[in-house]
């Protein structure tokens, strides 16, 4: 049974919506993924080495996966099952998908590296494809209860996208 949406606590709501991106009226999931790209590009600008970028990305993935499960479970109480406003799963899935770019794109002259920018665009397309089409067992992950069901399909979509992106970048 859904609880009164007006009483949804602000902090889990902030996390579940990826700091408000889930309120975007046209494709909130895509906006959550684009927000993930924006945060990753900020990390790219601030991290001096590919290793520090990789470590930062992995830390973000771990922390916000946990927070996404927690806030997703709470969001279902107020907004129903797998609410479209809860987009932290897309943000985390996009970060997972960006891991190969930490290795191939985290070079000193990264901002002038056309392969890295192509990789950024391809990563978004790959992640959204897997997230929307849900092939290869991704849809089955939605059967998990609560926040686990919200997060798991996007984590797997990010992994599939990252594997393909890795091979694209390796041979680009």
pLDDT at 91: 98
Select the more confidently predicted residue: 113 or 171: 171
Q: Is the pLDDT of residue 100 over 60?
A: yes
Using 50, 70 and 90 to split pLDDT, how confident is the model at 16? very high
Q: pTM of this prediction?
A: 0.94
Mean of all residue pLDDT scores within the chain: 92
Q: Can you give the pLDDT at residue 1? A: 62
Q: Region 124-132: what's the mean pLDDT?
A: 98
Q: How confident is the model at residue 42 (pLDDT cuts 50, 70, 90)?
A: very high
Q: How confident is the model at residue 116 (pLDDT cuts 50, 70, 90)?
A: confident
Q: What pLDDT does residue 157 have?
A: 98
- Specify the pLDDT at position 164: 96
pLDDT at 76: 95
> Among residues of the chain, what percentage have pLDDT more than 90?
78
* Closest to 74 in 3D by CA, of 60, 88, 62, 58: 88
pLDDT at 106: 59
pLDDT of residue 138: 97
Q: pLDDT band for 111, please (50, 70, 90 cuts).
A: low
Q: How confident is the model at residue 105 (pLDDT cuts 50, 70, 90)?
A: low
């Amino acid at each position: 049974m859904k609880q009164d949406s007006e009483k949804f606590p602000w902090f889990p709501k902030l996390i579940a919506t990826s700091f408000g991106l889930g309120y975007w009226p046209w494709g909130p999931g895509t906006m959550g993924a684009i927000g993930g790209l924006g945060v990753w590009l900020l990390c790219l600008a601030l991290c001096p080495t590919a290793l520090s970028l990789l470590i930062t990305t992995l830390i973000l993935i771990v922390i916000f996966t946990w927070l996404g499960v927690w806030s997703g479970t709470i969001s279902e109480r107020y907004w129903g099952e797998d609410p479209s406003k809860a987009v932290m799963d897309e943000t985390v899935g996009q970060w997972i998908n960006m891991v190969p770019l930490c290795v191939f794109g985290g070079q000193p002259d990264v901002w002038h590296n056309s392969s890295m920018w192509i990789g950024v665009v391809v990563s978004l397309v790959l992640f959204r494809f897997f997230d929307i089409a849900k092939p290869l067992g991704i849809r089955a992950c939605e059967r998990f209860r609560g926040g686990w069901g919200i997060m798991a399909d996007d984590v797997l979509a990010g992994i599939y996208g990252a594997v393909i992106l890795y091979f694209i970048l390796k041979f680009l």
